[in-house]
A = this chain, B = another copy of it.
Amino acid sequence: MVIKIPIEISARHIHLCQKDLEKLFGRGYQLKKLRNLTQPGQFAAKETVNIKKGKKGIENVRIVGPLRSKTQVELSLTDAIFLRIKIPIRKSGNLKGSPGILIVGPKGKLRLKEGVICPWRHIHLSKKDAEKLNLKEGDLVQFQVKGKRGLIFNNVMIRVSEDFRTCLHLDTDEGNACGISEKSQGTLIIPNI
């Protein structure tokens, strides 16, 4: 079975918990919305932070809101190689054993103990679409992108929620490897092989 789905590229970003937000931006600070993201309720904040590992660092890493229960930094493997850290490919929220990093905000620094991951490529499926396709949270599928740099991704993880708007999320390496940087479209293929 095949179905057309929009593709979005997630650049490096960070999710913060309340405590860490206050450590970096001061007590009682609240994130300001820059723009809404495609997933309902999610937004790119106006605020950014810098991250550092030894002598290497990346500036202006965008904060994505709303706040979460745990701070999480999502980088591409290109970023990780630049920073000289080894990061696991993980589903969002699964941070156990992942490396930490130094986060620098305008009002303070935070030495994150763990929480730096590379996001496992995934498809946000609305509950309705998941039922239609007979797919459930955690299922793995294939996804085909056409074009000069066309390819078929294996092991694309299915995420399901009533709140989700159906789309594929790739990181910047994956988006560049198939030659798309702006909004595009591809084909979900079941099953994964």
Contact = CB atoms under 8 A, between A and B. Distances in A.
B152 A148 contact: no
Interface residues of A, number: 23
Interface stretch (A28-36, A75-83, A160-168): A75-83
A174 B181 CA distance: 14
Q: List the number of copies, as a whole number.
A: 2
Contact of A154 (B81, B150, B154): B150
B155 A153 contact: no
Contacts of A77: 176, 179, 181
Interface in A140-170: 148-155
A29 to B, nearest CB: 30
Question: Which of A148, A152, A173, A178 has the most B CB atoms < 10 Å from its CB?
Answer: A173
26 contacts: A76-B78, A76-B176, A77-B179, A77-B181, A78-B78, A78-B173, A81-B172, A81-B176, A81-B181, A89-B148, A89-B149, A120-B148, A121-B149, A148-B155, A149-B155, A150-B154, A150-B155, A151-B151, A151-B154, A172-B173, A173-B176, A173-B177, A174-B176, A174-B177, A177-B177, A177-B178
Interface of A: 76-78, 81, 89, 120-121, 148-155, 172-174, 176-179, 181
CB-based closest 4 A-B pairs: A177-B177, A77-B176, A173-B176, A150-B154
